[in-house]
Structure 1
Amino acid sequence: VGTSIWRSLSSLFTIASGGSIGREGPMVQLAALAASLIGRWVHFDPSRLRLLVACGAAAGITSAYNAPIAGAFFVTEIVLGSIVMESFGPIVVSSVVANITMREFAGYKPPYEMPVFPPVTGVEVLLFVALGLICGALAPQFLMMMATAKKGFGRINAPLPVRLALGGLVVGILSVWTPEVWGNGYSVVNSILHSPWTWTALATVLVFKLIATAATVGSGAVGGVFTPTLFMGAVLGCLFGQGMHTLWPDGTSASYAYAMVGMGAFLAGATQAPLMAILMIFEMTLSYQVVLPLMLSCVVAYFVARAIGKASMYEITLHRNREEAERMRLRMTQMRELVRPAQTVVLESATVQEMTRVFLEYPVKYLNVTDETGRFLGAVALADITSDLLQKRDTAHKHARDDLKPTFDVLTPDMPLAVGLQHFMSFQGERLPVVESTREPTLAGVVYKTSLLDAYQRMNAER
């Protein structure tokens, strides 16, 4: 609790002093903290407490951007990772109530005042696909620059207040030449959407804002990168729109249309949550005309960003992507990836004394038996050897081939994970032999039951 409050206060001072960072971070954190405290006070079980905290986070993001539907999808796409009605319903209610509550405060207005989106027809739609490609390619670079700035400031052997002051100094120096880099950038984006800018002014504010945001975030300031991401998308989209209008003046919409779509596309590439980005811009514009170009740009940006950088604004998204990639890999796993060297192997000519020595050395129930060429012949059970010894039978002339179980179950390297599991279901031992093929049963190794069960569990783990 104390940490969250201190972080929120720190963010308040950073934003109030002109730091190039968003306000949504502390709003989400405080709302989630309040939900967590309420849930603990009424003794919610862990699953209900998790849902309540998600509702608080959705309320926080809704309060920041006046987008209740996008706020709900922000939590379900990024935090929870899946849209399930049992959780999505309460989150939507929380977002809507938060939005209604915010509207009751005097002087409240949405952060972005969107103009009317023009109709987009014909081949101009392809230009928005190109914009999605550009945003998808640059969004991971933006996130990498933030990470590099954090590492760079981390190498400075100075207390945190000194690093924060250094970040503020960078922003202050930049704002002398370009005051637009000051603060979260709401007013600048609104100006881009409603008044003409020269391409030189846009390029300058883009570069300086990028440096200012990296300095603020890297210095350790607390806040959100959500708003600077929207800023970058708006400026990139406006630059792209101006360039296309210069090349094709009679066939393109005004540059502010590309700025609006660029906000969503860059956000989709940075957060890897395209549905949330689409809904957020749609809610801000309340225009059906924006839907088609926005969907194209956001989806293209999402896939390009994932293909290039595998980066996301939120660590939880990266963790979930890694888990999903691991599950996909495991679905394609064959027994060859789980094969280990077979240590409990004896020749068919092995004596009872030799087999007993191996049983004493390894805690196994079966020994794999091969001929001199490595061909798998079957297995010898510990129970059979133990029975001979307990009943004091004459074993002087007995060999492994005499106690062989020729119908012993085997795996093959190309056998899928699920099929291997079925073989283990009817087997009492810890490991099964793997042969090269049923026609050429050369022993390739063994697969341990624990390894297979671990892989199967990770493949079917809940998100």
Structure 2
Amino acid sequence: MRGPDLHLRADGVVAMLCWAALAGVGGALVTLAFHAGIHAIQWLFAGHSGAITHVMRDLPWWLRLLAPAAGGLCAGALLAAARRASNETHSDYMEAVAIGDGRMSVRQGLLRSLSSLCTVATGGSIGREGAMVHLAALWASVLGRLLRTGTAHLRLLVACGAAAGVSAAYGAPIAGAVFVGEIILGSMSFQNFGPLLVAAAVSNLVMRLSGHYAALYAMPELRAVPAELLLPCLALGILAGVGAPQFLRCIHGVKSLFGRTGLPLPLSLALGGLLLGGVLVGMPQMAGNGYSVVVSLLHQPQAWEMVLWILLCKVLATSLTAGSGAVGGVFTPTLFVGAALGTLFAQGLGAAWPALAGHGTVLTLVGMGAFLAAATSAPFMAILMIFEMTLSYQMVLPLVLACVAAYFVSRGLAQAVMYQVTLRHEDNQALRRQLRHARLDSLMRPAETVIRTDAPVRQAQEMFLDYPVKYLYVTDAEGAWQGVIAQQDLTRMMLGEIDVQSKTCGEVLRLDFVKPLYPDLSLDEAQAQFSAFQGERLPVVSRDRPARLLGVVYKSDLLERYSRLKRALDGDTDFVLPPRRPRA
């Protein structure tokens, strides 16, 4: 099939769904390939493969210490090479979708994914899902460019790849689609959500056919959640809303400390790996994303002292790994911290209220969802994620209460979020709201070409000589708006040998030459009025009776305001509309 025909078909709805399905297949396959890469590296330094916590536990202490450092050195070298390969395309899939044209750098993407592979396979306390999702999105970007889809379709196809990656990594197709729609696209319209669901579902199907699918945190049949447990779930959500921003601040704080060292990227990651290795010598279960520890928290009783120690060590381990500059996700470590927080909360609740002591598993899961909702600012995604990972309908109501509470508390207390694209969507929405509600008086200038009705026409002629304008504004002695004097009217009178020198401005003014603006008009309303007017400026008058002349607005100022806003929305500049003035 020739390229142009393929391009036409790629712009259709049916074709888009087909390409989304292909993105889903590729997303699952690259996820399987990443898993294979992890096992291969584990065989190289450990002689066997498996869960990273088990691999680390079987290593001698000195190899636990050095393996993360060696992995960090290799990861840093690959990441430095990726940065040197910078070009006009985006290396991050979120940027490619949210602010780019969907094109991703293949070289940078592969190098970053290999860097993440080295970190994860050697015990880095970071999520492997970040690289999996990135590879899936990269595959979708390459697919879209081969098919020569339009920019809008390419961005949507990359988003489909990301949804497929999340679905393959977590076995949660609906949550994967919601993750991309809620966080990356910032839109849940079905025009976008339909292809995302197709990609995520196909990816999940491929994982099932390959034998790699299972509920991530498979749970036995949970008892019905009693009504008296809902209030504690709400309290746990509030606690998670307070704690999640602190967790993110801790990671950013460690990243700032590593930045101050001035070390090259390979040495920075090696240092982070060495410090992490010191933690793994005593706590090998801190390696990796923490999946096996979360499973133990869900299925085995733990002393609260041990849970607290695990929580603190995981926060430290993840901060060292991510803070040193390693590429990967903190999505799963966030679930780990939430699980530990929920377990501690459950033990405290059981001590204070023994009748609820048997619901520790529910509160552990609620803690995971609430902490994830607070960290990602995506409560809907967090609810669906925990539901799909546990396949337990009993969890829905407590998750809704906790996740919504966690979201509002975290956003009310801090601006720290896991994904910066979330803040960008919010900033864009705020700018659009400001544009929609901005009043015209924010652009108003003082009117200089003003003359009174009792002034002689000769004075108006002199003002026309001083100012390169086509008309003057006319007010009475009290400043009330009367109309305008047009230069063409005076010229026509003089050519018709009418004696204008004996007349006053009030005798030659026109009321219908221009339609004045009002200070409380929106910028859109003013733009519509300027579109019907050939001049550069329009007067602004009050709504009083009689109306008073307040100032003037220039078309160029209005267009500049729109241009600056567009650049701000495109990410080229920072821009905030001035505060609205009180009504005149």
Q: TM-score, normalised by structure 2?
A: 0.72
Q: Pairwise mapping of residues 12-27 of structure 1 onto structure 2 (< 5 A)?
A: 12-27=117-132
- In structure 2, what residue type is equivalent to 1:446? V
1:330 to 435, 442, 455: 435
Q: 2:243 aligns with which of 123, 138, 142?
A: 138
Residue 181 of structure 2 is aligned to residue 99 of structure 1: no
1:199–1:387 CA distance, 2 compared to 1 (3 A): farther
> Of 331, 336, 353, which residue of structure 1 is paired with 2:461?
353
Sequence identity, in percent?
50
Q: 1:123 to 1:412 in 2, by over 3 A?
A: farther
Cα distance in 1, alignment partners of residues 355 and 560 from structure 2:
61
- Partner Cα distance (2:523, 2:221) in 1: 55
Matches within 5 A, 1:136-215: 136-215=241-320
Which residue is equivalent to 1:67? 172
Structure-2 separation of matches of 1:144 and 1:386 = 71
SS class of match (2:326): coil
Is the Cα contact below 8 Å between 1:124 and 1:252 reproduced in 2? no
- How far the C-alpha of 1:320 sits from its partner, in A, is 0.8
Helix, strand or coil at the partner of 2:163: helix
Correspondence for 1:245: 350
Are residues 183 and 450 of structure 1, via their aligned partners in 2, closer, same or farther at CA, if it must alter by over 3 Å?
same
The amino acid of 2:210's aligned partner reads: F
Gaps of 5+ in 1: none
Kindly tell me: are residues 264 and 365 of structure 1, through their superposed partners in 2, closer, same or farther at Cα, counting changes over 3 Å?
A: farther
Deviations 1:144-173, CA, capped at 9 Å, x for gaps? 332333233222211101110121122122
**Aligned partner of 1:53 among 129, 135, 158:** 158
Name the residue aligned to 2:183.
Answer: 78
Instruction: Note if contact 2:541-2:548 (Cα within 8 Å) is conserved in structure 1.
Output: yes
Native 8 Å contact 1:135 1:233 kept in 2: yes
| 1:446 correspondence with 2:542 | no
Deviation at 1:186, TM superposition (A): 0.6
Determine helix, strand or coil for the equivalent of 2:482.
strand
Please give the per-residue CA displacement for 1:262-307, whole angstroms capped at 9, x wherever unaligned. 1111111111111111111111121211110011111111222222
Partners of 1:22 and 1:228 within 8 A in 2: yes
Question: Which residue number in structure 2 is paired with residue 127 of structure 1?
Answer: 232
How far 1:240 moved relative to its partner? 1.3
Contact 1:278–1:298 under 8 Å retained in 2: yes
The 5-angstrom pairing of residues 352-431 of structure 1 reads: 352-360=460-468, 364-371=469-476, 374-387=479-492, 396-397=501-502, 400-406=505-511, 408-417=514-523, 420=526, 423-424=529-530, 426-431=532-537
Q: When the two structures are superposed, what TM-score results if normalisation uses the length of structure 1?
A: 0.90
- Quote the RMSD (CA, aligned, Å): 2.8
* Alignment check: 8 A CA contact 2:439 2:519 kept: yes
Deviation, structure 1 residue 258 = 0.9
* 1:433 partnered with 2:542: no
Farther off after superposition, 440-449 or 47-56: 440-449
1 CA distance for matches of 2:121 and 2:109? 18
Cα 1:47–1:423 change in 2 (3 A) is closer
Quickly say closer, same or farther: Cα 1:382–1:320, change in 2 above 3 A: farther
When residues 434 and 179 of structure 1 are mapped into structure 2, their CA distance, relative to the original with a 3 A threshold, is: same
Aligned-partner Cα distance in 2 for 1:427–1:402? 24
Which residue among 354, 370, 376 is the counterpart of 1:265? 370
- Which consecutive unaligned segments of at least 5 residues does structure 2 have? 1-105, 571-584
Partner of 2:396: 291
Please state whether the residue corresponding to 1:319 is helix, strand or coil: helix
**Aligned match for 1:8, one of 91, 113, 117:** 113
Cα 1:438/1:120, change in 2 over 3 Å: same
Read off the aligned partner of 1:334 and give its amino acid letter: R
- In structure 2, the residue matched to 1:221 is 326
Distance 1:108 1:414 in 2: 59
Secondary structure of the structure 1 residue equivalent to 2:354: coil
Q: Write the distance in 1 (CA, Å) between the matches of 2:353 and 2:168.
A: 40
Q: Distance in 1 between matches of 2:133 and 2:249?
A: 23
- Whole-angstrom distance in 1 between the partners of 2:183 and 2:522: 32
Instruction: Tell me, yes or no, if the aligned pair for 1:66 and 1:110 is still in contact at 8 Å.
Output: yes
Offset at residue 341 of structure 1 (A) = 3.1
The worse-fitting range, judged by mean Cα deviation, of 170-179 and 263-272 is: 170-179
Q: Report the more deviating stretch, 308-317 or 389-398.
A: 389-398
1:198-248 alpha-carbon deviations (Å, 9 max, x no partner):
222222222221122122112110101111111111111111111111111
Equivalent pairs counted in the alignment come to 458
Deviations 1:305-340 (A, max 9, x none): 222223322222111111112223333333333333
CA contact (8 A) 1:114 1:284 kept: no
Q: How far apart are the structure 1 equivalents of 2:442 and 2:311?
A: 48
Q: Shift in Å at residue 188 of structure 1? A: 0.9
SS at match of 1:411: coil
Q: How far is 1:137 from its partner?
A: 2.2
How far apart, in 2, do the equivalents of 1:392 and 1:8 lie? 84
Letter of the 1:123 counterpart: E
* Distance change in 2, residues 1:107/1:88 (3 Å): closer
Aligned residues of 1:115 and 1:193 also touching (Cα < 8 A): no
1:383 is displaced (CA, Å) by: 3.0
Q: How far apart, CA to CA, are the structure 1 residues paired with 2:361 and 2:194?
A: 35
Contact 1:410 1:432 in 2 (8 A): yes
SS for the counterpart of 1:223 is coil
- The answer as to whether partners of 1:54 and 1:75 remain within 8 angstroms in 2 is yes
The structural deviation recorded for 1:107 is 5.7
Q: Distance in 2 between matches of 1:347 and 1:103?
A: 83
Question: 2:207 is matched by which residue type in structure 1?
Answer: M
Going from structure 1 to structure 2, the CA distance change for 1:123 and 1:107 (only over 3 Å counts) comes to closer
Give, in whole Å, the separation in 1 of the partners of 2:297 and 2:113: 30
Q: Distance in 1 between matches of 2:358 and 2:530?
A: 64
CA contact (8 A) 2:343 2:360 kept: yes
CA shift, 1:63, in A, is 0.9
Q: Deviations over 1:43-65 (max 9, x none)?
A: 11212222221111111111110
Give the secondary-structure state (helix, strand or coil) at the position aligned to 2:327.
coil
What one-letter code is carried by the residue in structure 1 that aligns with 2:465? R
Structure 1 stretch displaced more, 109-118 or 281-290: 109-118
CA spacing shift, 1:204–1:381, aligned 2, 3 Å = farther
- 1:114 matches 2:250: no
Shift of 1:400: 4.0
How many angstroms apart in 2 are the aligned matches of 1:453 and 1:121? 59
Alpha-carbon shift at residue 94 of structure 1 (Å): 1.3
